[in-house]
Amino acid sequence: MSVELSHYLMVGAILFSIGLYMALAKRNAVAILMGIELMFNAVNLTLIAFSRFAESPEPIAGHVFVVFVITVAAAEAALALALAVLVYRNRETIDIDKINLMRW
């Protein structure tokens, strides 16, 4: 038995579903960020799988796109964690429901 494209797509769909659940169901800001990062990684897995199995004159294009996605994900994570630390310093909580930034 060999690993085919459908196997990669199934793992990517499972990872994306878990990440979507974490991003929508959790109340903690860090857990929401982890869910978003998991969704980015699922998309990266599917891009690499398509790049690997597709017959293309430029098979490296999928890898280059993944590098850009990883760069955007790293910038998003750094900015979001910095905002989470700032909110925690001001509000002493990172629970999304308890944060009311309009009322100081």
pLDDT digits (tens, 9 = 90+) for 6-22: 999 999 999 999 999 99
Quote the radius of gyration of the chain (alpha carbons, Å). 18
Average pLDDT over residues 22-46: 89
Helix, coil or strand: residue 81: helix
Task: Copy the structure tokens of residue 69.
Answer: 């996605």
Task: Copy the structure tokens of residue 64.
Answer: 């280059």
Q: Which residues pair with 95 in a beta bridge?
A: 28
Q: Note the CATH architecture for domain 5-98.
A: Orthogonal Bundle (1.10)
Average pLDDT over residues 42-59: 86
Is pLDDT of 101 > 70?
Answer: no
